């Protein structure tokens, strides 16, 4: 039996790690990895393959950056050849990027069974490209592997209950295993930031926060005025836009750094007094690592993180100065993201339905 994983962007490499391990437990299974090339910078791609023990991709589509239509279209066209060559029993699409939607459409058009990992998440914000990608993928997929009960409920509301299976969240599998492995490691921070003193870790990369220069300036100004140092892990998209608009990423409390590799990222989140982000994955990782988070968005797909105030939404930046460093909520944390074996449940589901 052949499963083809199609990945292309940083969060998908993280999810692929535990799926690789789970596939290795099935001797009869051939796991084919296709990299679309959506992310190509070594810090966004190669380091994840290396640190998460992922074998080199069987095929690399080399698509690179572009407008949404061009990028998605180029992947869709390039997928035909690899599907014809490998003839998988299942295509596994991950999350909500342009690579996800392209893999999904390419598979169903060749009548190959499609499973969607991380199905059923919704922001209900139709401005987000990720929202289009997830809706399209869920509605064409044969098997919807949902990470949470909330996701299961969204799929049922859209008439997709029969194709849905709750498996848990694969990012939780890798996040918790990495936490245990890096606990005693040194924290990687830019020179001048003391890991023993309180600091905030920040990432900003969503189009709604970066593309309009006045919005970007407003967010960066709020971080520059923070009461503690803010380490900004700058995605190349942010670095490029800041340069274009003449906005500095290192000033006041703000210190820019390159993106971190996954183990160093987890270690830094564990050490941080707070996280400020607009990333979906990082909100949830910070929750799992018990670091209070402030999310610069109007909504979140991971609504469970909002319970007890672990995560606070502050799109208007009205509370940021007061809440970006705050005490951890008291009491035991809920565990809405599965038992740490989601990848095994997901792969077993595909094997059972070969």
CA–CA separation, 172 vs 226, rounded Å? 30
**Least distance (Å) from ligand UD1 to the CB of residue 36?**
10
Beta strands in 95-229 (DSSP E): 113-117, 143-146, 164-166, 200-203
Interface residue with ligand UD1, options 39, 154, 267, 297 (CB under 6 A): 39
Interface residue with ligand UD1, options 118, 130, 169, 285 (CB under 6 A): 130
Q: Which is nearer to ligand UD1, 301 or 344 (CB)?
A: 301
Do the beta carbons of residue 60 and residue 49 sit within 8 Å? Answer: no
Interface residue with ligand UD1, options 2, 30, 40, 321 (CB under 6 A): 40
As beta bridge partners, residue 166 has 146
- Binding to ligand UD1 by residue 291, rule CB under 6 A? no
Return the range that interacts with ligand UD1 (CB under 6 A); candidates 25-33, 36-44, 182-190, 191-199.
36-44
Residue 110 CB-density burial (10 A; 0-12 exposed, 13-18 middle, 19+ buried): middle
Using CB under 6 A as the binding rule, the residues of this chain from 218 to 247 that contact ligand UD1 are 235-237, 240
CA–CA separation, 148 vs 328, rounded Å? 23
> Quick check: is 68 catalytic?
no
Q: Which is nearer to ligand UD1, 129 or 195 (CB)?
A: 129
Count of residues interacting with ligand UD1 (CB under 6 A)? 19
Nearest to 79 by CA among 97, 106, 45, 39: 106
Interface residue with ligand UD1, options 129, 190, 252, 315 (CB under 6 A): 129
Nearest to 226 by CA among 295, 292, 324, 317: 324
Contacts of 161-165 with C-beta under 8 Å, sequence gap 24+, read 164/119, 164/120, 165/349
- Binding to ligand UD1 by residue 9, rule CB under 6 A? yes
**Least distance (Å) from ligand UD1 to the CB of residue 60?**
13
- Binding to ligand UD1 by residue 116, rule CB under 6 A? no
Q: Map residue 13 onto helix, strand or coil.
A: helix
Q: Which is nearer to ligand UD1, 35 or 235 (CB)?
A: 235
x/- map, 171-210, ligand UD1, by CB under 6 A: ----------------------------------x-----
Using CB under 6 A as the binding rule, the residues of this chain from 61 to 90 that contact ligand UD1 are 65
Q: Which is nearer to ligand UD1, 132 or 328 (CB)?
A: 132
**Sign of the dihedral defined by the CA atoms of residues 64, 66, 70, 73, in that order:** positive
Q: Which is nearer to ligand UD1, 21 or 35 (CB)?
A: 35
As beta bridge partners, residue 90 has 3, 113
Of 35, 205, 235, 345, catalytic:
205
Interface residue with ligand UD1, options 11, 18, 120, 147 (CB under 6 A): 11
Contacts of 190-196 with C-beta under 8 Å, sequence gap 24+, read 190/231, 190/255, 190/256, 190/257, 192/255, 193/229, 193/231, 193/255, 194/229, 195/271
Q: Which is nearer to ligand UD1, 154 or 205 (CB)?
A: 205
Residue 112 tokens read as 């190959």
Residue 339 tokens read as 């038992």
Binding region for ligand UD1 (CB under 6 A): 9-11, 38-41, 44, 65, 96-98, 129-130, 205, 235-237, 240
Q: Which residues does the annotation mark as catalytic?
A: 205
């Amino acid at each position: 039996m052949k499963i083809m994983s199609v990945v292309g962007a940083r969060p998908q490499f993280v999810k692929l790690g535990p799926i690789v391990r789970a596939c290795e437990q099935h001797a009869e299974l051939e796991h084919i990895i296709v990299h679309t090339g959506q992310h190509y910078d070594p810090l966004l791609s190669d380091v994840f393959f290396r640190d998460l023990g992922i074998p080199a991709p069987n095929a690399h589509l080399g698509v690179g950056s572009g407008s949404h239509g061009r990028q998605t279209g180029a992947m869709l066209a390039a997928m035909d050849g690899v599907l014809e060559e490998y003839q998988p029993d299942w295509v596994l699409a991950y999350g909500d990027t342009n690579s996800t939607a392209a893999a999904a459409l390419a598979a169903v058009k060749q009548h190959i069974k499609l499973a969607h990992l991380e199905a059923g998440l919704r922001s209900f914000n139709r401005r987000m490209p990720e929202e289009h990608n997830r809706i399209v993928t869920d509605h064409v997929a044969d098997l919807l592997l949902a990470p949470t009960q909330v996701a299961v409920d969204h799929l049922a509301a859209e008439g997709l209950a029969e194709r849905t299976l709750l498996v848990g969240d694969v990012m939780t599998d890798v996040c918790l295993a990495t936490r245990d492995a890096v606990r005693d490691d040194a924290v990687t921070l830019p020179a001048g930031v003391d890991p023993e003193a309180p600091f905030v870790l920040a990432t900003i990369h969503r189009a709604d926060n970066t593309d309009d220069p006045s919005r970007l300036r407003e967010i960066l100004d709020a971080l520059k005025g923070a009461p503690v140092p803010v380490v900004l892990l700058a995605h190349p998209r942010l670095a490029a836009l800041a340069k274009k608009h003449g906005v500095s990423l290192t000033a006041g409390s703000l210190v820019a750094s390159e993106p971190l590799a996954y183990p160093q990222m987890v270690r830094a989140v564990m050490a941080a007094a707070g996280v400020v982000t607009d990333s979906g994955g990082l909100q949830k990782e910070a929750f799992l690592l018990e670091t209070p988070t402030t999310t610069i968005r109007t909504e979140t797909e991971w609504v469970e993180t909002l319970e007890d105030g672990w995560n606070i939404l502050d799109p208007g930046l009205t509370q940021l100065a007061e809440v970006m460093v705050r005490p951890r909520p008291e009491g035991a944390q809920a565990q809405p993201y599965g038992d740490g074996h989601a990848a095994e449940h997901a792969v077993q589901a595909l094997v059972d339905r070969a």
